[in-house]
Structure 1
Amino acid sequence: MANLLANPEFWKAVASLAWPAVALTVFVKLQPVIRALLTRENLTLKIAGMEVTVMQAAESLGAQVADLQEKVAGLQSVGQPNDVVTTIISGSNKKSLLWVDDFPSNNVFIIEKFRQDGIEVTLSIETQEALELLRSRKFDAVITDLGRKELGVDHPMAGLELIRKVRAHGLQTPILVFAGHRGLQHSDQLKAEGATSVTNSGVDVMAFAEKYLGKA
């Protein structure tokens, strides 16, 4: 089992499963083993081109699974068809996405899933670099966090600054703010400045990608 968990191909396979319904079963069954293993050694692996520890990978997958469970429970409680899960596991044509986040490793499974679906994902860790990328080439969509540390300085509203500058340059690229509870607190302001949508849910990220990067 230790050899399996240390194998990057295992984690790529988890990311590419009937996402994430089967991943839920895998994660729940393996979670005790993962935690026991990590008390003995600190394994690292590469997912979506990023070095992450097995614990980081497990926590990232666990957060996304919990998010899915909450979304599915909400849909079932009101008797609506589970369109969210259908959206998640459907394919995508090759499109380009700019993801701006100073800790992209927090979202390795979503990024890996996008790339396996043929979406070209470009990562940026700060606002100025992201703006230069947007000026130099066309992106079909942008995902940004809200607060970032840039050049050693905390910028709690960096995502808002990025949105303002993108819109000031006349770019109408769809922008999703993917942040925590604080992002939701500033949702109205972010949308007023030009954000297409604001969420703290990985499920909503997948739905956003399906809408703007999915099937033509």
Structure 2
Amino acid sequence: MPEAIWIKLIGTLPSLFWAAFAVIVFLSLRGTIIHSLVPRVTALRALGVEVEMAGQLLDRVAEGSNTPVTPTMRRGILSRLEHAADTLRSGRILWIDDHPEHNGALISLLRSMDMVVDTARSTGEGLIALRHGPYDIILTDIDRDGDPQAGISMLRELEAGNVDLPVVVHSHNFNPELGVDRRIFAATNNPVEIVHYVIDLMERIRFGAPEV
């Protein structure tokens, strides 16, 4: 074989050596790489599905609301849901309302983020639920069963039963000019604001309230 060909072959040996070394390393670590990357990819895909589903449910919430949900509000809440997905997961809400069907789309939205949302139609049912399971947040209406202050009266019963949970009021009949009970974290008739308040509270619960 001519000398020039030998020189070329010898010159390619380092490249062949490194290529073979890379293949050996990959084959040796392939299992570790796959086990490391697959959960991350799966988690990202799952989060994408959660956010996409949340967007569809948010559109349903907007359709059933008397309060308009602007494109800016929609983008804002979807961004917060995406960033707060881990914070919301496994959070527990008790929603007390004598017409839970009116909140169906909003309940589905919260459940799509892997939150537990139980419903009760009266204060009595709510108190029973609180005795049988731990919750992070109570959502409530105000006017129930012909009593325009049922939600407010419920706060006294919670206090008497040493139930120290944050309360968010979702009601068209809430009048802050009459005074805001110290147990009420927030009150609104806007479903998007409800989601913001739930995220705010779950962040406080998971990470603690920020120092003032």
TM bucket (normalised to shorter chain) is 0.5 to 0.7
Which residue of structure 1 aligns with residue 53 of structure 2? Answer: 16
Q: Which structure has the bigger radius of gyration?
A: 2
CA drift at 1:142? 0.3
1:111-159 deviation digits (Å, cap 9, x = unpaired): 011112111111000011111221332210000000011xxxx111111
Q: Which blocks of at least 5 consecutive residues in structure 2 are unaligned?
A: 1-49, 207-212
CA drift at 1:17? 4.3
CA drift at 1:200? 0.9
1:46-81 deviation digits (Å, cap 9, x = unpaired): xxxxxxxxxxxx6x54144953229749xxxxxxxx
What SS does structure 1 have at the residue aligned with 2:68? helix
Q: 1:142 aligns with which of 131, 138, 144?
A: 138
Which residue of structure 1 aligns with residue 156 of structure 2? Answer: 164
Deviation >6 Å, runs of 4+: none
- Larger deviation, residues 200-209 vs 163-172: 163-172
Q: 1:99 aligns with which of 95, 101, 108?
A: 95
- Work out the CA distance in 1 between the residues paired with 2:132 and 2:94: 12
- Work out the CA distance in 2 between the residues paired with 1:156 and 1:71: 34
Q: Is contact 2:141-2:170 (8 Å) kept?
A: yes
CA drift at 1:205? 0.7
- The residue type equivalent to 2:168 in the other structure is L
TM-score, with structure 1 as normaliser: 0.60
TM-score, with structure 2 as normaliser: 0.61
Which residue of structure 1 aligns with residue 128 of structure 2? Answer: 132
Q: Is contact 2:142-2:150 (8 Å) kept?
A: yes
- The residue type equivalent to 2:111 in the other structure is R
Q: Which blocks of at least 5 consecutive residues in structure 1 are unaligned?
A: 1-12, 24-57, 74-81
CA drift at 1:19? 5.3
1:171-213 deviation digits (Å, cap 9, x = unpaired): 2201001001x21x14653x32521111111011101111223
Which residue of structure 2 aligns with residue 204 of structure 1? Answer: 193
**Larger strand proportion of the pair:** 1
- The residue type equivalent to 1:177 in the other structure is V
1:76-115 deviation digits (Å, cap 9, x = unpaired): xxxxxx7544224542211110000111111111101111
1:30-52 deviation digits (Å, cap 9, x = unpaired): xxxxxxxxxxxxxxxxxxxxxxx
**Larger helix proportion of the pair:** 2
Q: Is contact 1:18-1:89 (8 Å) kept?
A: no
Change (3 A) 1:157 1:66: closer
Which residue of structure 2 aligns with residue 119 of structure 1? Answer: 115
- Larger deviation, residues 201-210 vs 164-173: 164-173
- Larger deviation, residues 85-94 vs 101-110: 85-94
- Larger deviation, residues 88-97 vs 103-112: 88-97
- The residue type equivalent to 1:62 in the other structure is E
Change (3 A) 1:165 1:213: same
What SS does structure 1 have at the residue aligned with 2:142? coil
- Work out the CA distance in 2 between the residues paired with 1:160 and 1:112: 26
